[in-house]
Structure 1
Amino acid sequence: MGTHPLTPVSAIRLCVLTSILAVTATACAGRQAADQGGSWQPRQDVRLIIHASAGGASDLMARTAAKVLTDQKIVTRPVLAENREGGSGAVAYTYLLGQAGNPHYIAAFSGTYMSTPASNQADYRYTNYTNYSVVAEDASVLVVSAASPYRKLADLVRAAKDRPDTVRYGGTQTGGADSIVHYLLQQKTGTKLAYVPFDGGSEASAALLGGNVDVISSNPSEIKSLIDAGRIRPLAVSSTARIAGLDIPTFREQDVDLVSTQARGFIGPPRVSAAQRSYWENALTRMTESGQWRDYVRANFLQPSVHIGQNAQRYLDQEWQKYVSLYKELGLRPK
């Protein structure tokens, strides 16, 4: 059977069909490339998981991030904050593991992201996640009640040396930021202070005001109102330099070589693509550069400390080693 030459109309139809197929193939390849390393944008609402209860410092950070990402139009889909508290962060981070490969989930983290697994209280590690960014550091403020006889850090240290285990130090669970400052204070000053654990920071503050403990350490933003009201007296801050707006001397200024901070940042589930990771790293970088975010950092006495992508990974590698070393000394066996 012989072939028939194409009519002009048939030739035009063939060209159109060929073009359509080529465009379709290019579009499909483009979508595949976007998910494998090209550009990517969220296609549905974003869930920002918060490991703490509503109203605390971690909740405020996460909700501020959601607002900045939305207000500045950095993320064009709604960013919905969702609290999943419990287990010193374990509930939230375990939930995030279950969203593997889904870039529409991100989570905020604070010190418990590292401390809970490093103290052998969780089955995950930071290496199981996509670590997008570190955005700030939190220091601790050592405070006594306004009626306390301890006017300066040196007064507290002297009393702890003269009467070992009689100065009562209130804090949260062993392994948390409070217990770390307590341990380092003893280590750096050669003192012994009796540690009294509470379920949370608010209970420790109440115990201090009620005279049931002599000293506590706390997040600056959570006790600033008590300082301003004259109900408690700050003795030292655990940062490397004084924090703007607090004007509290550091431990180092008072000849105690103690620095202790906790990282705050954002992570994603495992197995997100290179394009999806790049999207969130860029978005979070833009967030930290906004005046809205900087105002939040300043108002809450955080220390700007921005590390993105591989720099965040290296930062957290060092944090992990720090916690592992501390917990070995505290008798908490790391995995």
Structure 2
Amino acid sequence: MRIRTIAVALAVTAALSACGGGGGTTAASSLRIMAPAAPGGGWDTTSRTAAQAFTSVDAKRKVEVFNVEGAGGTIGLAQLAGEKGNGNLLMTMGLVMVGAIEQNKSKVTLAQTTPIAKLTEEYEIVVVPAASPFKSLADLVAAWKADPAKVSIAGGSAGGTDHITAGLMAKAAGVDPKAINYVPGSGGGDALQLLLGNKASIGISGVGEFAEHVKSGKLRALGVTSPAKLPNVDAPTVKEGGLDVEIANWRGFVAPPGLSDADKKALTDTVTRMHDSQAWKDALAKNGWIDSFKSGQEFADYLNAEQTRVKGIISEMGLVS
């Protein structure tokens, strides 16, 4: 009897050890990262880059990235909310999702998630196909004023960063933001296909999504939304092009609701170690991403403030009623 009791105790101890004493994010456990958009876009790239950085820190950890497309990430958001208490799941999100929640009148909001960390910021870039007649932002503005409907703008989700950027640029140019012809996609990959197929007049996305194609000559950059020229992009700022617009997209991680304190701490610590890795630092430099790491309550407070700010912007632009 005593031998059986000892055996049971050892089995329980081993089980607890395997799952971190009740937490779900130990060094040897698996981790799933949801990219709530199509492959090829910013959330997908961030998710897969982070996955590589996670395994660089801990080669034993299995990291899986999967895509859930649609509605500016709000379909994925709803799925995440249904994973209550799952300490082995992260979802990549950001400014795009904040706007999409308002635009799509999503019943599930970011209040039904556990904020983990803000990771990066990235400025937007305005590009045209190589054969485009638009050689500068001045050419774009002239066409916009002549007939906004004839200038098709390829970008990410409706109400997201790309859409907001287009609206702010139109407003700065004296064009009604409600009149612009914005063609939303599930990610930067959709916009890229339209541009390379010469089926869109201009494209707006994060610098990292179009920079390679600008360097190859397939696309031409008209401007970037940074306060000063970027070292890795041969383009003026949008302000230098005559439009008083400056905006940066940001991305981060949230987890399902209802996490235990132990799982929340374990996830935050795991993401912090990933952020501190050389692999992640190299990825920031390669992609032109700005390190803007915030975790825990600092990120939760930032997220609350962003929701208020973005709702005000898109309401003013007439993107939501």
Pick the TM interval, shorter chain.
0.7 to 0.9
Instruction: Please give the alpha-carbon distance, in whole angstroms, between the structure 2 residues aligned to 1:102 and 1:202.
Output: 30
- Is 1:290 aligned to 2:277, yes or no? yes
- Is 1:65 aligned to 2:50, yes or no? yes
2:36 to 51, 65, 70: 51
What aligned pairs does 1:28-39 form with structure 2 within 5 A after superposition? none
Change (3 A) 1:308 1:332: same
What aligned pairs does 1:87-102 form with structure 2 within 5 A after superposition? 87-102=71-86
1:234 to 181, 204, 221: 221
Deviation at 1:297, TM superposition (A): 1.8
Determine the structure 1 residue equivalent to 2:181.
195
Determine the structure 1 residue equivalent to 2:135.
151
What aligned pairs does 1:199-210 form with structure 2 within 5 A after superposition? 199-200=185-186, 201-209=188-196
> Structure 1, unaligned stretches of length 5 or more?
1-16
Instruction: Please give the alpha-carbon distance, in whole angstroms, between the structure 1 residues aligned to 2:42 and 2:25.
Output: 31
Determine the structure 1 residue equivalent to 2:300.
313
Deviation at 1:152, TM superposition (A): 2.5
What aligned pairs does 1:1-335 form with structure 2 within 5 A after superposition? 41=26, 44-73=29-58, 77-161=61-145, 166-191=150-175, 194-200=180-186, 201-209=188-196, 211-333=198-320
Cα deviation digits, residues 229-261 of structure 1 (max 9, x gap):
223221111233433311432223444221222
Deviation at 1:270, TM superposition (A): 1.0
Change (3 A) 1:264 1:199: closer
Letter in 1 for 2:126: L
Instruction: Please give the alpha-carbon distance, in whole angstroms, between the structure 2 residues aligned to 1:308 and 1:284.
Output: 9
Letter in 1 for 2:30: D
Instruction: Please give the alpha-carbon distance, in whole angstroms, between the structure 1 residues aligned to 2:155 and 2:24.
Output: 46
Letter in 2 for 1:60: T
Change (3 A) 1:229 1:195: same
Instruction: Please give the alpha-carbon distance, in whole angstroms, between the structure 1 residues aligned to 2:116 and 2:105.
Output: 24
Letter in 1 for 2:311: V
Q: Which has the larger radius of gyration?
A: 1
Deviation at 1:156, TM superposition (A): 2.7
Letter in 2 for 1:96: L
Cα deviation digits, residues 181-201 of structure 1 (max 9, x gap):
111011122135741425454
Change (3 A) 1:307 1:145: same
Instruction: Please give the alpha-carbon distance, in whole angstroms, between the structure 2 residues aligned to 1:56 and 1:39.
Output: 29
SS of residue in 1 equivalent to 2:138: helix
SS of residue in 1 equivalent to 2:280: helix
Cα deviation digits, residues 64-105 of structure 1 (max 9, x gap):
2122112212x8542222222233312322221122122122
Instruction: Please give the alpha-carbon distance, in whole angstroms, between the structure 1 residues aligned to 2:215 and 2:39.
Output: 23
Deviation at 1:122, TM superposition (A): 1.6
* Native 8 Å contact 1:171 1:195 kept in 2: no
Deviation at 1:132, TM superposition (A): 0.5
Instruction: Please give the alpha-carbon distance, in whole angstroms, between the structure 1 residues aligned to 2:266 and 2:194.
Output: 46
State the identity %.
29
Change (3 A) 1:90 1:38: closer
Change (3 A) 1:231 1:88: same
Change (3 A) 1:317 1:253: farther
Deviation at 1:143, TM superposition (A): 1.4
> Structure 2, unaligned stretches of length 5 or more?
none
SS of residue in 2 equivalent to 1:140: strand
Deviation at 1:107, TM superposition (A): 1.7
Instruction: Please give the alpha-carbon distance, in whole angstroms, between the structure 2 residues aligned to 1:327 and 1:215.
Output: 21
* Native 8 Å contact 2:34 2:89 kept in 1: yes
Change (3 A) 1:197 1:284: same
Instruction: Please give the alpha-carbon distance, in whole angstroms, between the structure 2 residues aligned to 1:178 and 1:223.
Output: 13
**CA RMSD, Structure 1 to Structure 2 (Å):** 3.3
TM-score normalised by structure 1 residue count: 0.78
Instruction: Please give the alpha-carbon distance, in whole angstroms, between the structure 2 residues aligned to 1:312 and 1:93.
Output: 18
In the alignment of these two chains, the number of paired residues is: 307
Deviation at 1:43, TM superposition (A): 7.1
Deviation at 1:302, TM superposition (A): 1.9
